[in-house]
Amino acid sequence: MTAESPTRFRLGNHMVARTGYGAMQLTGPGVFGPPANRDEAIALLRTAIELGVDHIDTAQYYGPDVVNDLIRDALFPYPADLAIVSKVAVRRGTRGEILPYDEPAQLRAGIEDNLRSLRVDRLAAVNLRMPDDTALPDARFDDQLAAMIAARGDGLIEGVGLSNVSLAQLEHALTITDIVTVQNSYGLADRHSQDVLELTTERGISFAPYLPLGWPGEVRLRTLGNPVVHEIADRLTVAPAQVALAWLIGVAPNVLLIAGTASIEHLRENLAAADIELTADDRRALGELA
């Protein structure tokens, strides 16, 4: 296995490119139901691999059951170097609502569901997704971690990850077990996980920012509609989203982009963001936008 470089970082047992692919958008509206065009979704996944993507983020509850099936149908048998990361602790209701599914036995069932649908024996990592309204570790958190550790010990996952996690929860988890990846919301207009990012950087843990451009709405408007972003994009003749992603990948060496899209054109743009060179003044101006 090669050492870390500016273009690669360790994700558990894997050394992956710092730009991967988040598969959440390969569904219908609201991350619910099948895509409008299944053939286009299959083509996008195959194009991602052709372009060098070796890290895909997914979840059984995307759809539900939709995205993992698409990944399997598009890519199985998988490239030997592909790291697939999933997450557990929620499920989707019949109307698309997000419901907890986070008791220890449910976490194990969620991991096994991912393995069956993806047709793999082991995943590179699985993230334990924490609820939005919790920030402190408790006995229940310890029980959940124990279930994830047991799945790792049984060979179902290579590494334990955390998602939507607070600094206190991450610090507590690290007293119990190794954590190979953290997936929190983070971007130009959303720095609430700055303390978590700093700890992962210090500890050599990969940090995969989800919603790097924000959901469509206020946060995304503050990012893509910002005059500073547009000025830099115009000067470099790139898209505003590429500027935001280029800034993000340069924030810390352990950042792994998993920007999602249902468009092959946007996929190419997202991956190309890693090659955009921002000046020190650009980075300073963008860093002041939070």
Q: Which of 38-42, 129-133, 168-172, 236-240 has the lowest mean pLDDT?
A: 129-133
Establish whether 62 is a catalytic residue: yes
Q: Is the pLDDT of residue 3 over 70?
A: no
**Pairing label, strands 21-22, 160-163:** unpaired
Mean pLDDT of the 31-58 span: 97
- Helix runs in the chain, H state only: 38-50, 66-75, 104-118, 139-153, 167-174, 194-203, 218-224, 227-236, 240-249, 264-272, 280-287
Question: Quick one: CA dihedral 224, 130, 74, 27, positive or negative?
Answer: negative
| Predicted pLDDT of residue 269 | 97
Percentage, residues of the chain above pLDDT 70: 98
Tens digits of per-residue pLDDT, 108-117? 999 999 999 9
Tens digits of per-residue pLDDT, 138-196? 899 999 999 999 999 999 999 999 999 999 999 999 999 999 999 999 999 999 999 99
Which two three-digit tokens encode residue 17?
């490119």
Q: How confident is the model at residue 135 (pLDDT cuts 50, 70, 90)?
A: confident
Distance (Å, whole) CA 222 – CA 290: 9
Mean pLDDT of the 110-136 span: 95
Q: How confident is the model at residue 214 (pLDDT cuts 50, 70, 90)?
A: confident
How high is the mean pLDDT of the chain? 95
The one-character DSSP state at 3 is: P
Tens digits of per-residue pLDDT, 248-267? 999 999 999 999 999 999 99
**Options 21, 62, 101, 210, the catalytic residue:** 62
Q: Burial of 96 by CB count in 10 Å (0-12 exposed, 13-18 middle, 19+ buried)?
A: middle
Q: Please measure the distance between the N-terminal and C-terminal CA atoms of the chain and give it in whole angstroms.
A: 37
Distance (Å, whole) CA 284 – CA 290: 11
Q: Is the pLDDT of residue 63 over 70?
A: yes
Q: Higher-confidence residue: 148 or 2?
A: 148
Count CA atoms within 13 Å of residue 231 on its CB side.
Answer: 8
Distance (Å, whole) CA 207 – CA 194: 11
Distance (Å, whole) CA 242 – CA 278: 11
Distance (Å, whole) CA 198 – CA 182: 11
φ and ψ of 122, to 5 deg: -155, 145
| Predicted pLDDT of residue 6 | 86
DSSP per-residue codes, 63-128: BTTHHHHHHHHHHPSPPTT-EEEEEESEEE-TTS-EEE--SHHHHHHHHHHHHHHHT-S-BSEEEE
Q: Which of 116-120, 130-134, 238-242 has the lowest mean pLDDT?
A: 130-134
